[in-house]
Amino acid sequence: MIMIDNLDWILTVDRTRRIIRSGRIVVDAGRIASVGKAGDEPVADVADIIDGTGLIAVPGLIDASVAVTQQLGRGLGDFCDIPEYRLNRVGRYEAALTAGDARMAAAHFCIEMIRAGSTFFVDTGSRFPVEIARVAVEYGLRGLVGFAAQDLYDTAMGSYPSSTERLGFEDVLERVRSSIAAIRSMNQDLVSACIAIPWLTGCSARLGQALAELASEYRLPIVAAAGASRDEAVVSRIHNGMTEVQRLRTMGLLGPHTIIAHAGWTSPDDLRTIVDSGASVACCPSMSHRLGTGALEQGRYPELLAFGANVILGSGSAMASNYIDIARQLYLFSGGCKTYRLDATIAGPETSLEMATSRAAAALGRAGELGAIEQGRSADITLFRCAAADWAPVINPVQNLVFSSRGGADTVMVAGEILMRNGTLVRASETDVLRDSQQAAESLAARSGLERFARSAWHHS
């Protein structure tokens, strides 16, 4: 049994949205046994006591859209338009990526996730979902992962490099099925499989329909990117006669168990389609800013929220966003919506935190288990140090978390297991992983020919 006592604040995000000052959380057998005021009554059989003085507790944050294997590509996707980014940068990177690279990228990714206070990630799809899942289990994180389903390589936006592995329709379905079986053989409490379509432009209608059937057969969630940029929105209208959201609908890929990554470039009809389908939308603010897609600016996220859609948050990837930190996305989303709508009264901090916790848990079909600090739920808990210059004074802790905090967790727990305590990782040597990932990244950048894109315009010596 673990007791976190004398917490300055607890943001429960529970059914009544309680904020507890001077609080206590008791964890037993991986679940939250009680939540209340500090020192209410003695607790017997406590094996570990965490001093919560100067700390604030929030539900473990959920990163609902992130490309894990791109972790070694930080800096390789900068300063380019979307066709160049999709085909030449990401295409060359992924063509050169090995299974060993994928494991290294996943290890580095898990460390960044834990340090950010995130306990669950939704991968947008890769060639190495099994490697990602194994590393996530090793590090104690929760994840939803899937094989990147794609069967078009000479696309309406351009062609992939010759080094790309080109899988046909049947090969893709076989890879998807085999990855599902492998992931289901692991720790299913931590990792599970999904149908993943990271780039809809590269997915034929035939494949999309087959994937919808697989999702139904295996009872799997669907993670699909759509409407990320104007380029993709225009290509879809010209070559398919419909928006990307409408493509998802016609292929049978939209429903309550669908997470649409981005959906920034949408038509008025798309908004109605999303709301009616019950699908969730994962907004990736830093990806919009870094790639210059305008998804945050053009996206109707405040409207979707007002219309009853479930909008959640994602980080994108180390190549697209350059950082994996949902706590920092909270500020970008709330502040971005306010400035683009010229309305300081919308996208409040409470909404942003819900998007990273309770709303994300609902999108994953785990609303009763994750996303809140509440008796009986899994003990996925993140502690931030609020006795700090960027936090104090704390009058409204939700506002401080969203608008003031620089991010970076103090302590992280998943299912009652401590993954990081007082800023120190428990399961891994961070120094070793960062050293090895640096070497792997430099080798990958050289092999893929992308090294030149990461060079500064300033003089090198």
Strand pairing report for 48-51 and 31-37:
unpaired
Around Cβ 164, how many Cβ atoms within 10 Å?
16
Q: What's the rounded Cα separation, in Å, for the pair 136 and 143?
A: 7
Element (H, E) at 31: strand 31-37
CATH code, 61-363: 3.20.20.140
Task: Name which of 255, 273, 267, 268 is nearest 363 in CA terms.
Answer: 255
Token duo for residue 61: 């944050």
CA 398 centroid distance within chain: 21
User: Which part of the chain has CATH 2.30.40.10?
Assistant: 2-59+371-425
Q: How far apart are CA 129 and CA 106, in angstroms?
A: 10
- Specify the length of the chain in residues: 461
CB 394 within 8 A of CB 385: no
CA 190 to each of CA 128, 136, 183, 241: distance values in angstroms, whole numbers, following the listed order: 17, 8, 10, 40
CATH superfamily of 2-59+371-425: Urease, subunit C, domain 1 (2.30.40.10)
The answer to whether residues 99 and 149 touch, using CB atoms and an 8 Å cutoff, is: no
C-alpha–C-alpha distance, residues 73 and 25, integer Å:
39
**What residues does 259 pair with on adjacent strands?**
223, 280
Domain with CATH 3.20.20.140 in the chain: 61-363
Alpha-carbon distance 218 to 222, whole Å?
Answer: 11
* Dist. CA 309–CA 16, nearest whole Å: 20
- Written as tens digits, the pLDDT of the chain (461 aa) is 999 999 999 999 999 999 999 999 999 999 999 999 998 777 888 999 999 999 999 999 999 999 999 999 999 999 999 999 999 999 999 999 999 999 999 999 999 999 999 999 999 999 999 999 999 999 999 999 999 999 999 999 999 999 999 999 999 999 999 999 999 999 889 999 999 999 999 999 999 999 999 999 999 999 999 999 999 999 999 999 999 999 999 999 999 999 999 999 999 999 999 999 999 999 999 999 999 999 999 999 999 999 999 999 999 999 999 999 999 999 999 999 999 999 999 999 999 999 999 999 999 999 999 999 999 999 999 999 999 999 999 999 999 999 999 889 999 999 999 999 999 999 989 999 999 999 999 999 999 999 998 888 887 76
Q: How far is CA 231 from CA 82, 85, 103, 226, 264, in A?
A: 7, 11, 32, 11, 12
What is the helix (H) or strand (E) element at residue 441, kind and residue range? helix 430-448
pTM across the whole model:
0.97
Residues contacting residue 410 through CB under 8 Å, at least 6 positions apart: 55, 383, 384, 385, 420, 422, 423
Burial class for 170, CB neighbours closer than 10 Å (0-12, 13-18, 19+): exposed
| Spatial distance between the Cα atoms of 259 and 190, rounded to a whole number of angstroms | 19
CB atoms within 10 A of CB 140: 22
Rg of the chain (C-alpha set): 21
